[in-house]
């Protein structure tokens, strides 16, 4: 049986929470897990699920990427940076 140890709990992004505070949403914090007896690590992203005024699932990954786009919108199947995410969420208000 696989045994995991949680190395780090990932917190939600305060800037995104400020923007979506008027929406119906749920947040599930992410985790970085270590598979015991190996050197493998797994990252569970922080998930923002917006249910009203539209359904939108945003995943925030903790990565060191050259493109610096740690956000992924499931419905759009595309990566975004924080500035782009803010613009998309603000457009939802209109």
- The helix/strand/coil state of 23 is coil
Instruction: Convert the pLDDT of each residue in 5-22 to its tens digit.
Output: 999 999 999 999 998 888
Average of per-residue pLDDT across 23-40: 93
Pairing of strands 78-80, 71-73: antiparallel
**pLDDT value, residue 66:** 61
Instruction: Convert the pLDDT of each residue in 50-75 to its tens digit.
Output: 998 889 999 998 876 666 889 999 99
Tokens of 86: 């803010």
């Amino acid at each position: 049986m696989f045994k995991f140890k949680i190395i780090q709990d990932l917190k939600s992004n305060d800037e995104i929470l400020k923007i979506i505070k008027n929406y119906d949403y749920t947040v599930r914090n992410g985790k970085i897990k270590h598979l015991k007896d190996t050197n493998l690590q797994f990252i569970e992203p922080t998930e923002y699920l917006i249910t009203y005024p539209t359904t939108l699932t945003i995943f925030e990954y903790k990565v060191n990427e050259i493109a610096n786009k740690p956000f992924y919108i499931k419905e759009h199947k595309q990566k975004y940076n924080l500035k782009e995410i803010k613009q998309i969420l603000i457009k939802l208000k209109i």
